[in-house]
């Protein structure tokens, strides 16, 4: 039989255990386990109505950064930018593959690594705007001033993100959903643009509505619905422009065309754009500077004047684009004269001689597309245009590449394997 | 750790007091002439250090040795009498002495296995080794330091604790290794064991240092001066580390510093070491480069030989010196240990040196019989200058890449700077201040209850600097304008680790069963801040301030904090001190756990049985036998913030602040869980002349955290941590200690240890079945971090020396064009078997000769020197004399596929240490006013036997990475010779 001393000891031991257990369960430890970060923002702290403007501004900024990266990547794959360094060989040579390509994984903020992101950075921009829209939807007008306009803005930028993903990628996924073809992506973008137009109209923000409307026009052009595209484009007023903005404060907030070409000499404007003129008049839309310096791999460093500073803005959508869409629609409707009028409108705006070429549909189409190439030089359209219009990439596939290998056959970016491996709705190949 | 309150010690003290009383009560006959006193000293036969508390008996009288190991009999009569000495942990010794002899020297041999040894277990009070159900390695640091001066804690671990592997960065002064205990327990998190100093958890960062490859090589483990350390205990696996909870899955290293001991007067110890270190045989080890002469014929050229012949050796002999002084002593109420030391080490590169000054104060007070208070504080300040080394560049890099074909040109063949150019252009340094302090209360309010409160703080402030001054014309021509304009990066890292540890043990006797119930509550909080600022382009030479650069930027200003709160309960039942059953439970919450995960609970259970204490007694051959088995779990928490969805602040297009998604987070994130079953035995044979300690273990890491790729379409970049992996480690550790010769003039002891670990990835949580780390892969079914890549299986060499008809392994035994070949297994990268052999010969109880031979097997590394020569400068022999190699190797070299020609077996056998220690005769040291003294001459890294093709298998270009196995232009471990003088006053 246990002694009295032992029983007392047992009671005290039990009390001590109980005390310890109680203490360990006590809520005071919750406070000890809370962590704070001074250099990162926790989602739980960020996603409040008071931060609505910050959330939207951030999502738009993600888009601007992704847009800048895509414009550079698309320019390399197409024919606007050339003589890239080691980091961009696969873009320029058109030999990128779905396995391990940085186009699929590099976030916008990578920067110093010299990687050019497309799929991940545009997907981040899409998500940011989607998430902001989702949060705004759950908040009230009382909690968030300008809520209606913010809703429209996030819808428009989400739509633009999907639109560009559709132009860049051979196929894609949205938010770990199933694999989407390019037309399916554009259909999703069109719906988002339509919602954005409605929201902007409700918010009485015509500028935002025109931004979304021109985006929808571009989407519809991709879908081959010229008349629908022209109808949207026709609503765009002269002088309209919506730009990606860059503060130039760091890599991420710097215009990437300027960063790569002017600051780092990693690439230069392709010779296909050198010395362009119309009837002897230099074309100011493709104004370049032949610096006399060389790129990292020893070729002529030719820089685009339109992006002369780290903070140079990049047009996302503007009046000239709308006019060309109308021109293409007129040609599709067998109206070369109407298309010539568009060409002349654009040339007048640039103080260039009016069109003096052939009057056939084919001749005018060729001129209009040349006009488009110059007018929208380094503004994210070129790669999509080459694919959409089934135009040849230059140099042709098989041509020896200056630093080994030869030009490949890739045009659009294939769905990266990282998406296939980790998206539960996709099958591994 | 001293344990004055321990029962064993208490019983011993009572016995001693009894003997002393008896001795004191002996009547003295004042009329009898007093014989001359008989006196001497008792020392440890292994370390020759004095032994206190030895009961020495002669002529029916007993006494106890003091701290200096001294004993004295004032009234022994007769001419030759029998003297015996007894002490726990040592084999009794009896020898004939001459009465009146005052220079008796008795060397006691430790029992091969000491079951009474007190081990730090996490619970209060003393726990004897006999009660442990798992293996804990103990390194007697003070004994080791006495006979072979060691520079660092990692030097002490290497070869002295079975199952502990040190992955060295090389021989740069200031560098320290990664320490792996029983293999690798994680695929993504740190592999470093927890580190405690006197019960206080301290920073154990590895790979600290100036930003960059091959210079971020500092191990904070080496901040603790071996001269201040009494012993170290290595708790190896989850089954032993359960009470340490989350973060302990990689094992635990306990450092126990020296304590003052009560005595009639203060004891002063002074030690100084002087030594030299050098790069042994650099010409042969760096080797020649290959090129073609004007006739197109291959030839080799050794740039090291040329430079040495011209008196321009890029390497110097470093001078190393240390000075230490400590004083200790005390009364019954207060004991103290106070030490100070200064150290200056020079590397072989003129830009590499280290100066450190440190001190320690340990106080132990007993304000009342039931309370003992111990205060410890250690301080270290210093500056280490690092050379450009390894993959970054530097003299070795320069010598490897020099072009033989241009050796006779004005440029001397240097393709990117001569060795001295690197030494003049790049400067890396780390300033350090570290304070570690602790306050421990040991309270015994009742005979059945003991409790302990540990409060501690470890504070580190590092100032890491990369400086490239603006270059003059000569260096500018070498390194170009980008580097030539100069730059400076400052990274300040400060880390604070706080410990609050309370535990209580209640002991009650239930008949023949002793019950010990322990409970504990711990709080560990770690706050680490990093600030990194960079400046580019100094306007003129001579400027070094960040503010004087043309462009400055702050790239990092962050704080990471992590808190663990845990509690445990442990119940131990001991039956007649020979059968011990222990069960425990540990529960932890950690700030890095996901919000959907509450707490981690780790169980343990163990059984130890001292078979030889059973009535049926020990067998004739086996004097002592203890069996043990344990099962237990512990964990490792993910990185701070890993569970949380986070956004990164950045600049918006309009210059206003914005944020961008940075990490998706994982609310389900939980700690990795190490689950281990361990069994083994200790046996003492042949009158305990032979001791065997064997442990088998099977360890599985469940819920291993892996960086899970994210589908980009989800919107967050990169990866997120998830509990998807599973790893298995299996192995054994065997240590044998034997006294081969035991005579008075000579004693020969042999210590041998071998450990084998076999690891395998069981799950990685992705459909590929692997996680790629460059050419290393964690692939299911293969060892952790194995080398994977296309494997050339056949090739022909044509008349031009070009590899043609190259086929690679198609993964199923056939051949396929290498461009479409799959990545297949080549070799493992982590060692499987390590061991050491340490013979010690003691002559005349004064001269000790010892050596340590160390082996490592199973590690395969990339010889980056070879691949650099082949792939970067085209100066490898494979490219110029293909006939001297296998065709597959030539094909690999021409394809620049390093796995196919530069993957090399990094197994080695090293003569790590040879030492001679002589205890000076007392009459000599008395002339110096000292009580005892010794001189030691030691040499390190005297020989390496290896098939590794690089400079040395103990080098690594990225020791900051857990899985790095590439040697590339690294300074190898240096050959050193050190002389030491010790005096005690």
DSSP B585-621: EEEEEETTS-TT---EEEEEEEEEEEGGGSTT---SS
| Cα–Cα dist A25/B568, whole Å | 13
| Cα–Cα dist A373/A380, whole Å | 11
Distances (CA, A) of B454 to B431, B460, B483, B715: 29, 20, 51, 46
Q: Which pTM does this prediction carry?
A: 0.82
pLDDT in tens, B849-875: 999 999 999 999 999 999 999 988 889
Predicted pLDDT of residue B16? 33
Tokens standing for residue B527? 């706050």
What is the DSSP-derived secondary structure letter of residue B91?
Answer: -
pLDDT in tens, B483-528: 788 999 999 999 999 999 999 999 999 988 999 999 999 999 999 9
Q: Tell me the chain A residues in contact with residue B566 when contact means C-beta distances shorter than 8 Å.
A: 24
Q: Tell me the chain B residues in contact with residue A47 when contact means C-beta distances shorter than 8 Å.
A: none
Predicted pLDDT of residue A31? 65
Q: Is the pLDDT of residue B115 over 80?
A: no
Angle between helices A119-138 and A147-168 (to 10 degrees): 160
Q: Which of residues 127-166 of B touch A (CB under 8 A)?
A: none
Tokens standing for residue B746? 């000579």
Reduced to 3 states, what is the DSSP secondary structure of residue A66?
helix
Identify the helix (H) or strand (E) that includes residue B674: strand B672-685
Q: Is the pLDDT of residue B214 over 80?
A: no
Of A42, A126, A175, the CB nearest to B646: A42
Contact criterion met (CB < 8 Å) for B591 and A423: no
| Cα–Cα dist B654/A249, whole Å | 10
pLDDT in tens, A40-83: 888 989 999 999 999 999 999 999 999 999 999 999 999 999 98
Q: How many CA atoms lie within 13 A of A392 on its CB side?
A: 5
pLDDT in tens, B348-400: 999 999 999 999 999 999 998 889 999 999 999 999 999 999 878 899 999 99
Nearest chain B Cα distance for residue A39, angstroms: 5
Handedness of CA B695, B616, B582, B687 (dihedral sign): negative
**What are phi and psi for residue B217, nearest 5 degrees?**
-130, 15
Of A124, A244, A247, the CB nearest to B655: A247
Predicted pLDDT of residue B213? 59
Predicted pLDDT of residue A34? 72
Q: Looking at per-residue confidence, does B31 or B483 come out higher?
A: B483
| Cα–Cα dist A253/B875, whole Å | 44
Contact criterion met (CB < 8 Å) for B715 and A124: yes
Confidence of residue B3 (pLDDT cuts 50, 70, 90): very low
Predicted pLDDT of residue B905? 97
Nearest chain A Cα distance for residue B139, angstroms: 34
| Cα–Cα dist B32/A306, whole Å | 116
Tokens standing for residue B478? 């070498």
CA dihedral in degrees (A367, A372, A377, A378; nearest 10)? -140
pLDDT in tens, B160-177: 888 888 888 899 999 988
Confidence of residue B623 (pLDDT cuts 50, 70, 90): confident
Reduced to 3 states, what is the DSSP secondary structure of residue B241?
helix
Are B737 and B756 a contacting pair, CB within 8 Å? Answer: no
Predicted pLDDT of residue A279? 94
Contact criterion met (CB < 8 Å) for B714 and A123: yes
Predicted pLDDT of residue B4? 36
| pLDDT > 70 in chain B, percent | 95
Predicted pLDDT of residue B84? 85
**What are phi and psi for residue B260, nearest 5 degrees?**
-75, 150
Strands (E), B474-621: 487-510, 513-536, 551-575, 579-590, 600-610
Helices (H), A360-426: 361-375, 382-388, 417-422
Radius of gyration of chain B (CA): 30
What is the DSSP-derived secondary structure letter of residue B424?
Answer: H
ipTM: 0.90
Give the number of other CB atoms < 10 A from CB of residue B156: 25
Are A383 and B728 a contacting pair, CB within 8 Å? Answer: no
Reduced to 3 states, what is the DSSP secondary structure of residue B716?
coil
Predicted pLDDT of residue B9? 36
Of B517, B565, B569, the CB nearest to A33: B565
Nearest chain B Cα distance for residue A31, angstroms: 10
Q: Which residues contact B443 (CB under 8 A, 6 or more apart)?
A: B370, B371, B372, B450, B451, B452, B453
Q: Looking at per-residue confidence, does B215 or B662 come out higher?
A: B662
Confidence of residue B18 (pLDDT cuts 50, 70, 90): very low
Q: Which of residues 741-770 of B touch A (CB under 8 A)?
A: 766-768
Q: Tell me the chain A residues in contact with residue B658 when contact means C-beta distances shorter than 8 Å.
A: 54, 57-58, 61
Q: How many CA atoms lie within 13 A of B883 on its CB side?
A: 4
Identify the helix (H) or strand (E) that includes residue B339: strand B334-346
Confidence of residue B421 (pLDDT cuts 50, 70, 90): very high
Tokens standing for residue B311? 């008196």
Least confident of A110-114, A123-127, A181-185, B814-818: A110-114
Q: Is the pLDDT of residue B692 over 70?
A: yes
Tell me which of B713, B716, B770 to substitute to probe the interface with A (most A C-beta atoms closer than 10 Å).
B713
Q: Which residues contact B868 (CB under 8 A, 6 or more apart)?
A: B397, B400, B401, B968, B969
- Mean pLDDT taken over chain B: 87
Predicted pLDDT of residue B21? 33
What's the whole-number mean pLDDT along residues B199-210? Answer: 90
Q: Is the pLDDT of residue B804 over 50?
A: yes
Plot region of B6 (φ>0 → left; ψ -120 to 50 → alpha; else → beta):
beta
Q: Tell me the chain B residues in contact with residue A58 when contact means C-beta distances shorter than 8 Å.
A: 647, 652, 658-660
Contact criterion met (CB < 8 Å) for A39 and B650: no
Q: Which residues contact B436 (CB under 8 A, 6 or more apart)?
A: B197, B200, B202, B376, B377, B378, B456, B457, B458, B459
pLDDT in tens, B693-715: 999 999 999 999 988 888 999 99
| pLDDT > 90 in chain A, percent | 73
Are B61 and B73 a contacting pair, CB within 8 Å? Answer: yes
Q: Which of residues 892-951 of B touch A (CB under 8 A)?
A: none
Q: Which residues contact B553 (CB under 8 A, 6 or more apart)?
A: A250, B533, B534, B535
Of B508, B519, B717, the CB nearest to A9: B508
What's the whole-number mean pLDDT along residues B122-149? Answer: 80
Confidence of residue B52 (pLDDT cuts 50, 70, 90): confident
Helices (H), B206-327: 238-241, 282-286, 303-309
Are B364 and B372 a contacting pair, CB within 8 Å? Answer: yes
Q: Is the pLDDT of residue B737 over 80?
A: yes
Confidence of residue A322 (pLDDT cuts 50, 70, 90): very high
What's the whole-number mean pLDDT along residues A84-109? Answer: 83
**Long-range contacts at B549-556 (CB < 8 A, ≥ 24 apart):** B549/B486, B549/B487, B549/B488, B550/B485, B553/A250, B556/A39, B556/B491, B556/B530, B556/B531, B556/B532
Are B739 and B751 a contacting pair, CB within 8 Å? Answer: no
Q: Report CA B466 to chain centroid distance, whole Å.
A: 27
The segment with the largest mean pLDDT, out of A36-40, B631-635, B764-768, is B631-635
**What are phi and psi for residue B876, nearest 5 degrees?**
-85, 155
Least confident of A380-394, B266-280, B319-333, B662-676: B662-676
Radius of gyration of chain A (CA): 27
Q: Looking at per-residue confidence, does B207 or A242 come out higher?
A: A242
Confidence of residue A16 (pLDDT cuts 50, 70, 90): low
Predicted pLDDT of residue B403? 93
**What are phi and psi for residue A123, nearest 5 degrees?**
-65, -35
Q: Which residues contact B544 (CB under 8 A, 6 or more apart)?
A: B467, B469, B488, B538
Predicted pLDDT of residue B126? 65
Q: Which residues contact B78 (CB under 8 A, 6 or more apart)?
A: B59, B99
Are B268 and B372 a contacting pair, CB within 8 Å? Answer: no
Are B462 and B431 a contacting pair, CB within 8 Å? Answer: yes
Reduced to 3 states, what is the DSSP secondary structure of residue B803?
strand
Reduced to 3 states, what is the DSSP secondary structure of residue B330?
strand
Are A320 and A375 a contacting pair, CB within 8 Å? Answer: yes
| Cα–Cα dist B223/B976, whole Å | 20
Tokens standing for residue B483? 């580097």
What's the whole-number mean pLDDT along residues B571-585? Answer: 93
Nearest chain A Cα distance for residue B646, angstroms: 5
């Amino acid at each position: 039989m246990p002694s009295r001393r032992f029983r007392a000891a047992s009671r005290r031991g039990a009390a001590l255990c109980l005390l310890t257990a109680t203490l360990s369960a006590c809520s005071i430890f919750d406070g000890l386990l809370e962590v704070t970060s001074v250099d990162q923002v926790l989602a739980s702290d960020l996603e409040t109505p008071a931060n609505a403007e910050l959330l939207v501004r951030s999502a738009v900024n993600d888009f601007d950064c992704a847009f800048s990266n895509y414009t550079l990547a698309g320019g390399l794959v197409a024919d606007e930018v050339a003589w890239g360094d080691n980091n961009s060989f696969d873009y320029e040579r058109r030999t990128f593959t779905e396995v391990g390509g940085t186009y699929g994984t590099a976030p916008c903020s990578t920067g110093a690594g010299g990687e050019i992101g497309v799929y991940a950075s545009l997907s981040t921009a899409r998500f940011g705007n989607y998430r902001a829209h989702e949060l705004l939807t759950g908040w009230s007008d009382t909690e968030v001033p300008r809520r209606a306009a913010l809703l429209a803005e996030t819808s428009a930028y989400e739509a633009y993100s999907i639109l560009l993903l559709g132009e860049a990628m051979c196929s894609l996924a949205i938010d770990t959903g199933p694999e989407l073809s390019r037309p399916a992506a554009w259909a999703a973008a069109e719906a988002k643009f339509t919602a954005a137009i409605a929201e902007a109209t409700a918010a009485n923000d015509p500028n935002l509505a025109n931004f979304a409307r021109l985006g929808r026009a571009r989407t519809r052009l991709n879908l081959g619905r010229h008349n629908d595209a022209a109808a949207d484009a026709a609503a765009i007023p002269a002088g309209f422009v919506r730009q990606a903005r860059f503060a130039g404060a760091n890599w991420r907030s710097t215009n990437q065309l300027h960063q790569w070409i002017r600051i780092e000499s990693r690439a230069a404007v392709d010779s296909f754009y050198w010395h362009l003129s119309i009837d002897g008049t230099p074309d100011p839309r493709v104004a370049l500077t032949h610096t006399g310096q060389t790129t990292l791999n020893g070729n002529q460093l030719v820089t685009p004047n339109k992006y002369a500073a780290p903070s140079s803005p990049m047009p996302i959508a503007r009046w000239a684009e709308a006019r060309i869409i109308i021109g293409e629609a007129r040609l599709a409707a067998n109206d070369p004269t109407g298309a010539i009028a568009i060409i002349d409108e654009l040339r007048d705006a640039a103080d260039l001689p009016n069109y003096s070429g052939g009057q056939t549909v084919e001749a005018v189409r060729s001129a209009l597309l040349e006009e488009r190439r110059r007018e929208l030089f380094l503004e994210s359209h070129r790669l999509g245009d080459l694919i959409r219009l089934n135009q040849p990439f230059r140099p042709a596939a098989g041509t020896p590449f200056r630093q080994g290998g030869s030009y490949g056959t890739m045009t659009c970016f294939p769905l990266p394997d990282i998406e296939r491996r980790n998206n539960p709705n996709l099958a591994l190949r | 750790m001293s344990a004055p309150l321990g029962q064993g010690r208490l019983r011993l003290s009572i016995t001693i007091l009894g003997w002393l009383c008896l001795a004191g009560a002996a009547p003295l006959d004042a009329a009898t002439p007093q014989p001359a006193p008989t006196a001497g000293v008792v020392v440890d036969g292994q370390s020759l250090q004095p032994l206190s508390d030895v009961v020495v008996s002669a002529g029916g009288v007993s006494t106890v040795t003091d701290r200096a190991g001294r004993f004295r009999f004032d009234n022994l009569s007769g001419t030759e009498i029998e003297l015996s000495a007894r002490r726990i942990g040592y084999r009794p010794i009896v020898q004939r002495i001459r009465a009146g002899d005052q220079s008796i020297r008795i060397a006691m041999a430790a029992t091969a296995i000491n079951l009474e040894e007190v081990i730090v277990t996490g619970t209060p009070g003393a726990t004897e080794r006999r009660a442990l159900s798992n293996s804990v390695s103990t390194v007697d640091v003070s004994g080791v330091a006495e006979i072979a001066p060691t520079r660092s804690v990692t030097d002490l671990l290497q070869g002295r604790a079975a199952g502990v592997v040190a992955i060295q960065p090389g021989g740069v002064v200031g560098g320290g290794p990664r320490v792996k205990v029983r293999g690798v327990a994680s695929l993504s998190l740190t592999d470093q064991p927890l580190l405690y100093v006197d019960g206080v958890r301290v920073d154990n960062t590895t790979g600290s240092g100036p930003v960059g490859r091959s210079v971020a090589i500092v191990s904070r483990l080496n901040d603790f001066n071996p001269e201040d350390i009494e012993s170290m205990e290595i708790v190896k696996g989850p089954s032993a580390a359960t009470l340490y909870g989350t973060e302990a899955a990689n094992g635990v290293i306990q450092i126990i510093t020296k304590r003052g001991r009560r005595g009639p007067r203060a004891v002063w110890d002074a030690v100084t070491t002087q030594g030299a270190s050098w790069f042994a045989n650099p010409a042969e080890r760096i080797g020649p480069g290959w090129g073609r002469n004007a006739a197109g014929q291959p030839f080799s050229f050794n740039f090291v030989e040329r430079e040495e012949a011209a008196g321009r050796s890029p390497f110097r002999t470093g001078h190393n010196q240390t000075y230490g002084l400590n004083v200790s002593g005390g009364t019954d109420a207060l004991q103290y240990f106070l030490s100070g030391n200064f150290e200056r080490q020079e590397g072989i590169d003129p830009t590499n040196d280290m100066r450190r000054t440190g001190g320690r104060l340990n106080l132990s007070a007993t304000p009342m019989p039931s309370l003992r208070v111990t205060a410890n504080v250690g301080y270290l300040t210093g500056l280490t200058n690092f050379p450009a080394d390894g993959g970054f560049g530097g003299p070795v890099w320069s010598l490897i890449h020099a072009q033989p074909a241009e050796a006779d040109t004005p440029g001397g063949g240097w393709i990117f700077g001569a060795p001295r150019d690197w030494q003049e252009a790049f400067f890396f340094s780390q300033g350090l201040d570290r304070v570690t302090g602790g306050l421990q209360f040991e309270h015994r309010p009742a005979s059945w209850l003991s409790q302990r409160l540990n409060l501690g703080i470890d504070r580190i402030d590092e100032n890491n600097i990369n400086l490239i001054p603006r270059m003059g014309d000569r260096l500018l021509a070498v390194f170009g304008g980008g580097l030539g304009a100069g730059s400076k990066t400052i990274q300040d890292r400060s880390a604070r680790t706080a410990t609050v540890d309370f535990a209580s043990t209640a002991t009650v006797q239930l008949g023949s069963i002793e019950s010990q119930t322990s409970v504990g509550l711990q709080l560990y909080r770690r706050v680490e801040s990093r600030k990194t600022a960079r400046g580019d382009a100094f306007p003129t030479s001579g400027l070094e301030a960040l503010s004087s650069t043309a462009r400055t930027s702050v790239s990092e200003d962050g704080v990471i904090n992590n808190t663990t709160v845990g509690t445990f309960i442990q119940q131990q039942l001991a039956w007649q001190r020979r059968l011990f059953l222990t069960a425990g439970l540990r529960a932890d919450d950690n700030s890095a756990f996901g919000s959907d995960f509450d707490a981690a609970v780790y169980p343990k259970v163990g059984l130890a049985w001292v078979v030889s204490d059973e009535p049926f007694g020990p067998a004739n051959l086996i004097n002592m036998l203890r069996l043990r088995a344990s099962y237990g779990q512990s964990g490792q928490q993910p990185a701070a913030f890993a569970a949380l969805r986070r956004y990164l602040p950045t600049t918006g297009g309009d210059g206003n602040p914005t944020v961008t998604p940075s990490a998706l987070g994982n609310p389900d994130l939980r700690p990795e869980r190490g689950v281990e079953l361990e069994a083994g035995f200790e046996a003492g044979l042949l009158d305990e002349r032979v001791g065997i300690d064997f442990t088998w273990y099977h360890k599985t890491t469940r819920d291993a955290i892996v960086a899970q790729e994210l589908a980009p379409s989800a919107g967050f970049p990169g990866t997120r941590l998830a509990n998807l992996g599973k790893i298995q480690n299996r192995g054994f550790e065997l240590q044998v200690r034997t006294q081969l010769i035991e005579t008075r003039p000579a004693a020969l002891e042999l210590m041998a240890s071998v450990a084998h670990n076999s690891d395998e990835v069981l799950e990685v949580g992705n459909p590929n079945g692997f996680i790629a780390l460059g050419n290393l892969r964690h692939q299911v079914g293969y060892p952790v971090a194995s080398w994977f890549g296309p494997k050339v299986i056949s090739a022909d060499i044509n008349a031009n020396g070009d590899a043609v008809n190259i086929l690679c392994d198609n993964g199923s035994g056939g051949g396929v064009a290498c461009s479409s070949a799959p990545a297949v297994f080549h070799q493992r990268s982590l060692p499987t078997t390590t061991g050491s052999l340490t013979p010690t010969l003691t002559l005349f109880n004064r001269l000790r000769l010892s050596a340590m031979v160390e082996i490592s097997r199973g590690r395969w590394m990339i010889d980056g020197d070879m691949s650099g020569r082949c792939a970067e400068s085209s100066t490898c022999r494979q490219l110029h004399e293909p006939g001297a190699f296998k065709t597959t190797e030539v094909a690999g070299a021409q394809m620049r596929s390093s796995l196919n020609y530069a993957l090399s077996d990094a197994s080695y056998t090293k003569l790590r240490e040879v030492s001679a220690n002589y205890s000076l005769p007392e009459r000599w040291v008395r002339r110096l006013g000292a009580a005892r003294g010794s001189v030691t001459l030691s040499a390190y890294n005297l020989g390496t036997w290896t098939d590794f093709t690089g400079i040395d298998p103990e080098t690594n270009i990225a020791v900051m990475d857990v899985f790095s196995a590439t040697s590339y232009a690294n300074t190898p471990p240096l050959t050193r010779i050190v002389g030491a003088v010790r005096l005690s006053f």
